[in-house]
A and B are shown apart, each in its own frame.
Chain A
């Protein structure tokens, strides 16, 4: 069976896939200024990888991001988020917004919120990609009546 889709799709994906992932990173980083944030940006990142899988077949994307790395990234993303929350203990309360808050509308502002967004973005992207991989790699053997 021929892996992946036709030549037209493969050529376009080479350009567009990277742009989708860049757009996802933009949404994650600007989470405190415009709609989006960690979750929506993470979904976009995962969509970029999924597009790559659909167009080229799963071996190519597994070479870029193998299964174990996706699981590890998921845990790391969650630990970043939890670490930010526990860091608030230094200021006396859980989840306290410690780091200096700039003015409204600047990119580097709002304390720990952009860092939390990055953690969530990594986690959601890796998790959705792993879920997608597991779902398509399940080999269906129907008809096992017992």
Chain B
């Protein structure tokens, strides 16, 4: 029962210890960082055996009973995302041991990485609205600094754009949380859900608009996606994997699902809005990606499109749709981070990111090209890779719910994804 705060406390502890110990040994930040993420991964999988099936684990911080205190909640959705975050974080830190030889300031990199990880774990585990905002900001500020890590000209410009848009989104989120507090008088999610049932729909629509704007920008949905194609390629490769693989999901998609399904309550108009945003993200992302020659920028545009699939699945509201959406979320974390780490390995070896200049690498880097092939087939939705199954669920759910136009849009998006990845594979 005492495990839940450790997911936040352990990364913070190691992050504050690294600056003190970094002088002793050159490899000390690597060792500490990898031990921390390994511990988190083991703890996240170990929780599967401790948590009673189909039940919720609640931890009261400081012994204060909610609604006076903050509590940490672990239900099925949180657990899935916790596992995803810890898994991708462990892979990224393991990859960083070799990759970060190019950069100076390795200790600071690990400190920021662990802070971002602590923030994401906190977002996924918390049961209190303002706590969600605090952890969201911790993770977001750490990611702003990590995007600018190499301090090249492009990275700084991308980080500045990302920072201004991200801070504006956070201001919208804080405004929304303030309005919920004004309407209900409590910040606890379960309590607010109970009290919001009595509020009229005009107030709920007002708050929902703010939350869609705020979290939609964090999740890179289509009207708010402009920061992503600049920020994700400019970051160092393991950070791109973390950003694209888990940050936009933990901060964006998870928060949308929590706020709308658990606190405010989904209405048919809201579900339709989510579906439209999801479909628009799918098509716009893929169409813009076809003309790209920069490998990582191509992957970043595909992230927008795949998150569109997830939001489409989640917006449907039917059980098959939600399952398809969450399955696709987990799959996308896996294969997108794999693709970004591959891109990083290629960039490390070849020294460039433009696709026109690379060609015929499969002889020199056989392992990388095999994994890249697997990931590309997966993202394009070819059976029997995992991308196919999750996209099939989403399309079936669309057809089942009677929304045929959305199913058609999903199929078109999938075909275009296949086309652009064939270009990559050459």
Q: Do chains A and B touch in the complex (CB under 8 A)?
A: yes
**Contact (A85, B9) CB under 8 Å given A72-B19, A72-B20, A75-B20:** yes
Q: Report whether B153 and A94 are in contact in the complex, using a CB–CB cutoff of 8 Å.
A: no
Residues on B with C-beta less than 8 A from A79 are 13, 16-17
Distance (Å) between the CB of B123 and the closest chain A CB?
A: 17
Distance (Å) between the CB of B9 and the closest chain A CB?
A: 6
**Contact (A71, B19) CB under 8 Å given A86-B9, A94-B5, A94-B9:** yes
Residues on A with C-beta less than 8 A from B5 are 94-95
A82 within 8 A of B: yes
| Interface window among B34-42, B55-63, B410-418 | B55-63
**Contact (A95, B12) CB under 8 Å given A72-B19, A72-B20:** no
**Residue-wise interface mask of B (1-29) relative to A, using a CB-CB cutoff of 8 A (1 in contact, 0 not):** 01001000100110011011000000000
**Contact (A82, B12) CB under 8 Å given A71-B19, A146-B153:** yes
Determine the main DSSP class of A at the interface with B.
Answer: helix
Determine the main DSSP class of B at the interface with A.
Answer: helix
CA of A75 to CA of B21, assembled, Å:
10
CA of A94 to CA of B122, assembled, Å:
14
Summed over the interface, the residue pairs from A and B with CB atoms below 8 Å come to a total of 42
Interface range, B side: 10 to 19
Partner of B13, one of A82, A88, A96, A97: A82
Q: Report whether A75 and B17 are in contact in the complex, using a CB–CB cutoff of 8 Å.
A: yes
Distance (Å) between the CB of A27 and the closest chain B CB?
A: 23
Partner of B62, one of A74, A78, A96, A146: A96
Residues on A with C-beta less than 8 A from B9 are 82, 85-86, 94
Residues on A with C-beta less than 8 A from B2 are 89, 94
Distance (Å) between the CB of B63 and the closest chain A CB?
A: 4
Residues on B with C-beta less than 8 A from A93 are 60-63
A92 within 8 A of B: yes
Q: Which residue of A lies closest to B2 (CB)?
A: A89
Distance (Å) between the CB of A134 and the closest chain B CB?
A: 12
Residues on B with C-beta less than 8 A from A94 are 2, 5, 9, 59, 61-62
**Residue-wise interface mask of B (123-167) relative to A, using a CB-CB cutoff of 8 A (1 in contact, 0 not):** 000000000000000000000000000000100000000000000
Distance (Å) between the CB of B43 and the closest chain A CB?
A: 15
CA of A143 to CA of B5, assembled, Å:
49
Residues on B with C-beta less than 8 A from A88 are 62
15 A-B residue contacts at CB 8 Å?
A71-B19, A72-B19, A72-B20, A75-B17, A75-B19, A78-B12, A79-B17, A86-B13, A92-B63, A93-B60, A93-B62, A94-B2, A94-B5, A94-B61, A97-B62
Residues of A near any B CB (own CB < 8 A): 71-72, 74-76, 78-79, 82, 85-86, 88-89, 91-97, 146
Residues of B near any A CB (own CB < 8 A): 2, 5, 9, 12-13, 16-17, 19-20, 59-63, 153
